[in-house]
Amino acid sequence: MRLPWTSTEVKDLPTVGTVVDAVTDLSRSEEPPGARLRIARQQAAAFRGEFTSTGTPDSVVTCDLVTLPYPTRFGLFRASKALAPFLSITNRMQVIRWTESGGRKRVLLFEPSDHELGRYTPYFDTLAQHTPSFLERQVVTEHGTVPSHLARLGIEPVEVDYLMFDHLHTQDLRRWVGTTAFQDDLGQAPEAAFPNAKVIVQRDELAALADLHPLQKPWYQPGAYSDVPAEAFLPVNGSVVLGPGVAVLKTPGHVFGNQSLVVNTDTGIWVSSENVIAAEALVPEYSKLPGLARWARAWQQEVVLNANTIETTADQYNSIVMEKALADRSQADPRFLQFFPSSELTGAWTNPGTKPTFTHGAIRHGAQPA
């Protein structure tokens, strides 16, 4: 598949942010997985001390995008005893605003999925083709689009500086960053909806997207990147601080170039990614979901992975433990942590045995919409 970059050219693209020295890419370490797990805990403790001193953003607002079905065996890797083959997850966008030291205002959209085009991801497209339309209407709920949410918040598209995803599974960015050629399926060469925005992505993921492994192919839409401008991307190589209380943490495993959002708020540190789909997956001992607590005890595992792709399972486990060590306790229920799944497990009558024990629903910091 032709892309506007090759795996060897990614290193030549520009970058952004201040590198976090306390956190290294443990997936490249020569240490065995057990040692990397111990180092992950140590690095999280060191980063906490640095990160809190950077301050807080002006605001964080959560916007619901879409609720859709997802295989239980993927979302609750090996642990669930639910009879339902599918559970429901809600994709949400975080809108983060901050002010730089020089007074410049910044806007970051985390997980601004164009879910109307994301449905053509090979796995979900195949699933939709085998799902009767009347049933799809029962299990898929569209809550809003990225443009509609921004209009509600009073944010003009030209004000958006950064787009960021924990990884590029399912993502089609053509309407957000524009294309350099006519797109047959869209009937146009779309202009960028966010003309000033750059996509923050790990260099590892851009390189992988240029040469996908068979394990990765069901979850990406490489054809959607053939005509997007290379200059729309701002690759990072590891973990970086973007602004006061806003950071990108490299968390490899779910994909090689996985990354997490870390924000410092009035209630402490939040971490967000799709490494797990429920807050209780970080503390399965408190889960009431059928099977989770027992499975975690029996297998002596402290977290339950979201495992639709198992690119490097031990690294994903270690990354989740790092996220777990960074996040503060929830003020709503201190048994759980301020980890916000970018696709959060959502109870539904169609999926018995998958109602979460605890959900966050939103991150709220600073001014919130009426």
Does pLDDT of 354 surpass 80? yes
- Give residue 281's pLDDT band: very low, low, confident or very high (50, 70, 90): very high
Please answer whether residues 76 and 304 qualify as being in contact, where contact means their C-beta atoms are separated by less than 8 angstroms: yes
Q: Check residue 307 and give its pLDDT.
A: 92
pLDDT tens profile 133-145 = 777 777 889 999 9
The pLDDT of residue 2 is above 70: no
Q: Which pLDDT value is given to residue 10?
A: 46
**pLDDT reported for residue 135:** 72
Q: Mention every residue, 6+ apart, whose C-beta is less than 8 A from residue 254.
A: 166, 167, 273, 274, 275, 305, 306, 307, 309, 311, 316, 319
In 186-266, DSSP assigns E strands to 198-202, 233-236, 240-243, 246-250, 259-265
- Give the C-alpha separation, 273 to 303, whole Å: 14
171 confidence band (pLDDT: 50, 70, 90): very high
Q: Can you tell me the distance from the alpha carbon of 172 to that of 207, in angstroms, rounded to the nearest whole number?
A: 17
Stated pTM of the model: 0.93
Check: CB of residue 105 under 8 Å from CB of residue 97: yes
> What is the rounded average pLDDT of the residues 186-198?
97
The DSSP letter of residue 176 is H
For residues 203 and 257, is the Cβ–Cβ distance under 8 A?
Answer: yes
35 CB contacts (<8 Å, ≥6 apart)? 29
Which pLDDT score is estimated for 56?
A: 97
Using DSSP, state whether 235 is helix, strand or coil.
strand
DSSP 134: H
> Residue 92 — φ and ψ, nearest 5°?
-135, 150
Percent of the chain with pLDDT over 90: 75
Among the ranges given (5-19, 290-304, 307-321), the one the predictor scored with the smallest mean pLDDT: 5-19
Beta-carbon contacts of residue 109 (< 8 Å; ≥ 6 apart): 93, 94, 95, 96, 146, 160, 162, 163, 164, 194, 197
Q: What is the pLDDT of residue 13?
A: 46
pLDDT at 44 over 90: yes
More confident residue, 87 or 5: 87
C-alpha–C-alpha distance, residues 5 and 12, integer Å: 10
On the question of pLDDT at 1 being above 80, the answer is no
Token output for 352 = 């018995």
Across the range 295-309, mean pLDDT stands at 95
Chain-centroid distance, C-alpha 119: 17
The radius of gyration of the chain from alpha carbons, rounded to an integer in Å, stands at 19
Mean pLDDT of the chain: 91
